[in-house]
Structure 1
């Protein structure tokens, strides 16, 4: 039987090893963890039939993209941390794939790139937003291809996504942060702005953080791991305020309005996080520690701030050729 159980990973595995029409076909796929035995058996029947049909030169039905999306949202998106956002973003490009076949995915994605229009703020849609929507759509079609026999070839193989440079370098100092905070009439939002600058936490993290023992405790972070962030003395009172926290969209709206009023047209709330990193680096905190404070799982995320560490680099260069303190102590002894 092509279906077996991998007990160490708690998943079913599909294996196909047959000689069909004079040629040997070997396929091995690990199935999603959430699948039941019945789902694994159904996949076995459909996938085996597809492999036999392909080997015998018979075509596989070219299914609709919307069917692939429906399967992906029902089976996979619900398991993702950002599942609701994925479903919403895919729905925003429904106009491009409605009624289209999965073989037309490259053309559909090209249409999304060229005709996504403007955001609700009147600006051209950000390349990062367009790329994310294309990637979600491709992921949905690949899932349906891999696990439900939608086509014989990878539907995303010819898809082109826009090039994106996400390394934003917009920083403000404490004085500018306070100007923006004072411009905001909502006290709760002002507190959140100050906390963001003095902690480097993301907005969602600030709104969900628990205060225990003089630290913020984050149970659910972007990288999926819990994190503890010390509370800066300047926001100690704000951190321990027990009033209800404002909604995310409320914070973003007030911050954007205040920043624009002060001439910071391209400043986003998330740039307070970058500004916190800038403040630490400018005060000679090493990149590794900065990454730990920000909760970066991959040090490449912290590397975007390396250009700020000029003083640390100067000190490092001056250390070359100097005798170590241990050597000096030995000579003194």
Structure 2
């Protein structure tokens, strides 16, 4: 737990708040930080984990006398509602519009990155951390060494996804970036390090495409919704998304009511035929 907390602080909190004095980390400052995370597309359950960590940190700081014990501007931060958050799925027309707009971006990898997320349903962090050695081009499998749940997982790559990766390799070579096995697939040409995010270019592109309400994580939801609407079972979607439990995948069950009616009719026809055979 302490090691996980330190990792979370270093990767998610230190950059924005680490240089501030504890007395400066007030509720208005933290509220602004939370809003920025929501706009950036972080899942609300993930943001709540960060909030819980910061609450513990401030509580300990007061206990150890590092800040005044009573400060009206340093009360416990409230978590944000998760259950009523509406998922966003892109239509086929919106997907086409988004990809067409991404092509117009001057960002060298934005189009390929967004297309890969749509084709695989991968999490943003998984794609940012992808290395060439994680990809088996022959078997068309991408192995994520450590996913969100702390376990490795395998992502099946379609032919179009393989095409995206081949295009990314070609682009990297053109930009004189490393394509060695342990090199990141999406390398920033300016720093020669993996990209931290694509947010700046993403905000511009989604505004151009008139999709201001779409978050990068919604591309994962869209991948799932397309599968469900094409008749893929929830258990198969669970595997493709890398969900630990079917409960996480159940959120997409409402997307295919017509297909469920069709399945019910199948049983109805079988039972009706068996009754006719007996009479």
TM-score, scaled relative to structure 2 = 0.66
Q: Which residue of structure 1 lines up, in the alignment, with residue 31 of structure 2?
A: 116
The structure where strand makes up a greater share of residues is: 1
For 2:47 and 2:19, how far apart are their aligned partners in 1? 9
Aligned-pair Cα RMSD in Å: 4.1
Q: Which residue of structure 1 lines up, in the alignment, with residue 5 of structure 2?
A: 77
Say which SS state the counterpart of residue 323 (structure 1) adopts.
helix
Deviation per residue, 1:224-274 (Å, 9 max, x gap): 111111112223221233225145455222222111112111111111111
Q: Are 2:161 and 1:235 aligned?
A: yes
Q: Which residue of structure 2 lines up, in the alignment, with residue 211 of structure 1?
A: 135
| Gap runs ≥5 in structure 2 | 65-74, 173-184, 188-193
Q: Is the 8 A contact 1:77 1:86 kept in 2?
A: no
Say which SS state the counterpart of residue 253 (structure 2) adopts.
helix
Instruction: Answer with 1 or 2: which has the greater Rg.
Output: 1
Say which SS state the counterpart of residue 217 (structure 1) adopts.
strand
Q: Are 2:79 and 1:162 aligned?
A: yes
Deviation per residue, 1:298-323 (Å, 9 max, x gap): 32221221210213321232244443
Structure 2 counterparts to residues 294-333 of structure 1, below 5 A: 294-323=241-270
Q: Which residue of structure 2 lines up, in the alignment, with residue 135 of structure 1?
A: 52
For 1:206 and 1:182, how far apart are their aligned partners in 2? 21
CA shift in 2, pair 1:77/1:171, >3 Å: same
TM-score, scaled relative to structure 1 = 0.57
CA shift in 2, pair 1:300/1:161, >3 Å: farther
Relative contact order, higher structure (CA 8 A, sep 6+): 2
Q: Is the 8 A contact 2:121 2:241 kept in 1?
A: yes
| Gap runs ≥5 in structure 1 | 1-31, 33-71, 100-107, 149-157
Number of aligned residues:
233
Q: Which residue of structure 1 lines up, in the alignment, with residue 112 of structure 2?
A: 191
The structure where helix makes up a greater share of residues is: 2
Q: Are 2:234 and 1:287 aligned?
A: yes
